[in-house]
């Protein structure tokens, strides 16, 4: 099943499968299914074409931003913070955590793999 160009996983229950769309989490997925009148426990491959169309119309007429629009908005917000040189924008530029987390240890998601530093001097050869 495809919605807005995103293929939903066939083997997952609909309330989980809808979360494959950027901007739809579990609570919003449940709300969409409730409005469409579709059981959340049904798998994507078990849906009838009529139920698929109901879900599609609820998502399109829901009035919330998803996928490309939402990604553009988030990217624009981060760019604005970088342009005005706000603290959070500078943290984004330096690829560091923006919400006050410690960086002496942890923070590996943003900082990447740990680079071990040596003592700063070369090993001397023993003769």
Q: What are the phi and psi torsion angles at 48 (to 5°)?
A: -85, 160
Q: Tens digits of per-residue pLDDT, 49-92?
A: 898 899 989 988 888 888 889 999 999 999 999 999 999 999 99
Indicate whether 116 belongs to any domain.
Answer: no
Indicate whether 97 belongs to any domain.
Answer: yes
Q: What is the pLDDT of residue 118?
A: 74
Rounded CA separation 61/78 (Å) = 27
- CB-based contacts of 51: which residues, under 8 Å, 6+ apart? 36, 38, 42
Instruction: Supply the range of the domain harboring residue 34.
Output: 2-60
Indicate whether 118 belongs to any domain.
Answer: no
Residues 14 and 45 in one domain: yes
- DSSP lists the bridge partners of residue 6 as 3
The domain tally of the chain equals 2
Rounded CA separation 82/46 (Å) = 46
Number of C-beta neighbours around residue 32 at 10 A: 22
Prediction pTM value: 0.72
């Amino acid at each position: 099943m495809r919605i807005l160009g995103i293929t939903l996983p066939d083997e997952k229950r609909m309330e989980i499968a809808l979360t494959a769309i950027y901007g739809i989490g579990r609570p919003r997925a449940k709300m969409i299914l409730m409005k469409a009148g579709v059981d959340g426990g049904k798998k994507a491959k078990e849906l009838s074409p009529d139920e698929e169309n109901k879900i599609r119309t609820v998502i399109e007429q829901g009035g919330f931003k998803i996928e490309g629009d939402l990604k553009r908005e988030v990217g624009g917000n981060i760019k604005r913070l970088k342009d005005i040189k706000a603290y959070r924008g500078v943290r984004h530029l330096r690829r560091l955590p923006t919400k006050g987390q410690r960086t002496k240890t942890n923070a590996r998601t943003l900082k990447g793999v740990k680079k071990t530093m040596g003592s700063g001097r070369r090993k001397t050869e023993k003769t």
